[in-house]
Structure 1
Amino acid sequence: MSETAPRTSLSTLQSFIQNAFVAVGMPHEEAGKAAALMAQADLIGQDGHGVSRLPMYIKRIQAGGLNVKPDFKIIEERAATALIDGDNGLGHLVMQNATELAMKKAETTGVAWVGARHSNHAGPASLYAMMPLKKDMIGLYVAVGSANHLPPWGGTEMLLSTNPIAVAIPSGANPPIILDMATTVAAYGKVKTAAQRGETMPEGWMVDKDGNPLTDPSRASEGFLLPIGGAKGYGLALIFGILAGTLNGAAFGRDVIDFNADSKKTTNTGHFILALDIKAFADPKMFKASIDNVWAEMKSSELMTGVSEIRLPGERLAQVTQDRTDNGIPLAPALRETLKELAADLGIAPL
């Protein structure tokens, strides 16, 4: 996102999203929770997973493909584990519920793993990995992506998704270390964002089915994303899909519904969140001081020629978050126009 684009405050953006959800039947309180998470995605710089996804969510709700009044149920539970049925609710609400449960369990058991099925797209992975930080816990989140854009290594049939992972680790004087990555070179949300802005993609994000570089995001349907590290990225996508999908009784492989193309069918998206209480292993203050030492060691490493700075995962996120907190969230003109049209369709005030 160009930081020179017109900016909107977090509260204004959140109110707009909430009003949109309420307009299509979501209860006010749940709409507020969903809006807070979606606006936070934009606040931390995850533009491909924030308000830009709102028209798609609204379209699914209007088509009957997403339940605005889900009844979340725990269908399997032990001391340190649980499996939640999301009743086809918005993924943000399903995973907020799952993460809160994992944190509560981890306070007693030290570590807790909560899976979810019958969910939907939930935005950026880092949202949920970051939640346990407030309890001096480490968070780890994995999901089956909401559309297949990756074939098994050596194949051409799209049987895998970006299947992201996020890990958040607290520190003391520095920002938390936050790894948020797809198992593909680029998340598909970045492809959609590039198309929305009329930009080209770098070579290495996608290839066509003959293996030729694909740089026009409007032709994304003609090719597929490339995995990180070749066959290793394929392996990660496979394992993450099994753990977040198959293990939970959620969709995986040919069962995954492309929510970009089909607004009516239930996606049965799967996720899991793991919360690890640092107190089960170390004094939190001492641990966070040790992470500060990790920061110092990484940052003080001798630089390669042509490199100006070593950065840690989560460093840019912290910088972007601070800038957007102080100055507002930039929204591209094309996105603003789309949201203006959405507001008119729903009969709500525009941004």
Structure 2
Amino acid sequence: MRAVPAERVRRQILNVLQAWGMAEDLAATTAEAMVETDLMGIDSHGLSMLMMYESFRKNGQLDLTARPKVLLDAPATALVDGGANLGHPNADFAMRLAVQKAKSAGIGAVGVRNSHHFGAAGHYARIATAAGVIGFITSSARTVLMVPTRGTLPLLGANPIAFAAPALRNRPFVLDISSTTVAANKVKVYDLNGKPIPGGWVVDEAGRPITDSARAMEIIFQEPGGGVTPLGGAEVTGGHKGYGLGAMVQILSATLTGAAFGPIRNPQRVPGDPDDVGHFFMAIDPRAFRPEGGFEEDLDAMIDVLRATRPADPAKPVKVAGDPEAEERERRLAQGIPVPPALEKHVREICARSGARYELSED
């Protein structure tokens, strides 16, 4: 496996998106979100997504020329149509609009419909903290893959949630989770690396755990039964909460915005129909509740206490949400982003088909 400098990965993504016809500014926003995701160690949602995006384009599901369009606008809320473009520029636009509204009204909430996969939700939460506000993001998903507790057929997507809050001395608190045990694209990363997945991530149509990553990919993306387990596992003792969490995200992201619900929409789809993924973005200005700086000071104190907790293993200090990603980002900025040979091969082939310049190596 080679480590590729982040700027080279950024150029590679940008080259492919522009070869596909995406406008330069939209492609730059998308490439930024994807490479930042890779830098933070979330390999499932960065460079490796080019394979899936190519299939969207081939199937006529994407309009890479579309720009986000505000359909409804109020002092604290808005509804945006994503035009069936990739979710990254739609999400970036909507999060910044929510921040703008929060700065004016104290709180801002923006829904997006007719969008696509937007990468890692935490990337957009960090946009909020960079502006000094709290960010909350949810998204529905194109792939129906979550098997409900005690069920055998998938009915919900991974349906991610992110929450971020700004501090003064410390890094922002950034929680980025899926309502499934694992994102389907993380299974893809294991498959690209030829590694087995942990038991409990994926079950077959009989509810049996699957560890072969290639077989798991077949179950998730090709077969009607089985799929990824809810956050908390397949058992009713925990998984029903993850399943409920996924349903909540679906309500906020899609039912509220008018986007699609897969089990109802998928049987009616025809080739070329967009995925109609929905997102929800909320920004809260702490100054609407407290004097300036009071929230951040208290959050710093809270983070300090959490980090100072005596660890069970002195070699493994206690971390706060966002710490692992920030530390991995520093390592990868210095050492490069690891790209497995299988992914490098796929990217070469995508470049050959699109006419994009191959950038991951100098040869």
- Residue 349 in structure 1 maps to residue 357 in structure 2: yes
315-324 or 246-255, which moves further after superposition? 246-255
One-letter amino acid of the counterpart of residue 354, structure 2: L
Distance change (3 Å), C-alpha of 1:102 and 1:149:
same
Contact 2:153 2:227 in 1 (8 A): no
Q: Counterparts in 2 of 1:60-99, with a 5 A limit?
A: 60-99=56-95
SS of 2:30's equivalent in the other structure is helix
Alignment of 1:281 onto 2:306: no
CA distance in structure 1 between the aligned counterparts of 2:203 and 2:244, rounded to whole angstroms = 19
SS of the residue 2:109 aligns to: strand
The CA distance in 2 between the partners of 1:263 and 1:104, in whole Å, is 38
Identity %: 35
Query: How far does residue 257 in structure 1 lie from its aligned partner after superposition?
Result: 5.3
User: Residue 34 of structure 2 corresponds to which residue in structure 1?
Assistant: 38
Residues of 2 paired with 1:37 and 1:142: CA distance?
A: 16
Alignment of structure 1 residues 191-202 onto 2, 5 Å: 191-202=187-198
| 3-state SS of 1:11 partner | helix
Question: 2:277 matched to 1:269?
Answer: yes
Instruction: Say whether the 8 Å CA contact 2:68–2:89 is kept in structure 1.
Output: no
TM-score, with structure 2 as normaliser? 0.90
Q: Normalized against structure 1, the TM-score is what?
A: 0.93
Once residues 48 and 256 of structure 1 are traced to their aligned partners in structure 2, the CA distance between those partners, rounded to angstroms, is 26
- Which of the residues 6, 11, 21 maps onto 1:25? 21
Tell me the residue number matched to 1:297.
Answer: 305
AA at the equivalent of 1:269: V
| One-letter identity of the residue aligned with 1:251 | A
Partner of 2:346 in structure 1? 338
Checking the alignment, whether the CA contact within 8 Å between 1:105 and 1:111 is kept in structure 2 is yes
* Secondary structure in structure 2 of the residue aligned to 1:184: coil
Contact 1:177 1:313 (8 Å CA) reproduced: yes
Change (3 A) 1:305 1:68: closer
Q: Deviations over 1:151-184 (max 9, x none)?
A: 3332222111111100111122222111110011
Counterparts in 2 of 1:338 and 1:284: CA distance versus 1, 3 Å: farther
1:232 aligned residue: 241
Say if 1:306 and 1:234 are closer, same or farther in 2 by CA, change over 3 A. Answer: farther
- Do the aligned residues in 2 keep the contact of 1:256 with 1:267 (CA within 8 Å)? no
CA contact (8 A) 1:21 1:58 kept: no
For residues 1-351 of structure 1, the aligned pairs below 5 Å read 5-220=1-216, 221-222=218-219, 223-228=226-231, 229-255=238-264, 264-304=272-312, 308-350=316-358, 351=360
Q: Is the 8 A contact 1:166 1:179 kept in 2?
A: yes
Which piece of structure 1 moves more, 32-41 or 85-94? 32-41
Letter in 2 for 1:18: L
Secondary structure, aligned partner of 2:256: helix
Q: Distance in 2 between matches of 1:263 and 1:126?
A: 32
Find the aligned partners of 2:23 and 2:176 in 1 and give their Cα distance: 31
> Which residues of structure 2 form unaligned runs of 5+?
220-225, 232-237
Which segment is superposed worse, 329-338 or 81-90? 329-338
Q: Runs of 4+ in structure 1 displaced over 6 angstroms?
A: none
The alpha-carbon distance between structure 1 residues 138 and 333, as it changes in their structure 2 partners (threshold 3 A), is same
Q: Which amino acid aligns with 2:286?
A: I
Using the TM superposition, give the Cα deviation of residue 317 of structure 1 relative to its aligned residue in structure 2, in angstroms: 0.7
Read off the aligned partner of 1:293 and give its amino acid letter: A
In 2, distance between residues paired with 1:154 and 1:254?
18
RMSD: 1.9
* Residue 307 of structure 1, CA deviation: 8.1
Aligned residue-pair number: 344
| Distance in 2 (alpha carbons) for counterparts of 1:277 and 1:306 | 37
In the TM superposition, what is the alpha-carbon distance from 1:305 to its structure 2 partner? 7.0
Q: In the alignment, residue 128 of structure 2 is paired with which amino acid?
A: P
1:314 to 1:256, Cα distance in 2 relative to 1, 3 A: farther
Determine the C-alpha separation between the residues in 1 that align with 2:85 and 2:313. Answer: 50
Which residue type is aligned with residue 26 of structure 1?
Answer: M
Q: Is the 8 A contact 1:60 1:263 kept in 2?
A: no
Q: Contact (CA 8 Å) 1:207, 1:225: kept in 2 or not?
A: yes
Q: Give the drift of 1:236.
A: 0.6
> How far 1:324 sits from its partner (Å)?
1.4
Shift in CA distance, 309/162, structure 1 to aligned 2, threshold 3 Å: same
